[in-house]
Amino acid sequence: GEDVEQSLFLSVREGDSSVINCTYTDSSSTYLYWYKQEPGAGLQLLTYIFSNMDMKQDQRLTVLLNKKDKHLSLRIADTQTGDSAIYFCAEWGGNDYKLSFGAGTTVTVRA
């Protein structure tokens, strides 16, 4: 399958910005996604970006896509304790009807 890689842990102070990075290998990806998993729960779609876009902003969330480097990032402004969760980067390949996930980044927000 396609490879999606992300760092495993991020610690951030409450009120600061969080930046979660992700790289992928499939150049035919049509959409890239960010999912959030809170403890004991399933994954929830946070935001997504189409592959021909560079940036997408949605309230406190900013997604940046560098298609040349196959690099995706998620910035969370004014990080709150409720943002503590595991964040998954995922890419949807055009031909294989599959969402490929990274290993997930555990974000811990400290007071």
Partner 1 sequence: EAQVTQNPRYLITVTGKKLTVTCSQNMNHEYMSWYRQDPGLGLRQIYYSMNVEVTDKGDVPEGYKVSRKEKRNFPLILESPSPNQTSLYFCASSLQGGKLFFGSGTQLSVL
Q: Residues interacting with partner 1, by CB under 8 A? A: 1, 4, 8, 30-31, 33, 35, 41-45, 48, 88, 90-92, 97-104
Least Cβ distance, residue 16 to partner 1 (angstroms): 26
User: What is the C-alpha to C-alpha distance for residues 36 and 85, in angstroms, rounded to an integer?
Assistant: 7
Least Cβ distance, residue 44 to partner 1 (angstroms): 7
- Dihedral angle over CA of 42, 46, 48, 54, nearest 10: -140
Nearer CB in complex with partner 1: 41/111: 41
**Beta-bridge mates of residue 21:** 73
Nearer CB in complex with partner 1: 15/94: 94
The upper half-sphere exposure of residue 58, i.e. CA atoms within 13 Å in the direction of its Cβ, equals: 10
DSSP letter, residue 98: -
Nearer CB in complex with partner 1: 97/111: 97
Least Cβ distance, residue 30 to partner 1 (angstroms): 7
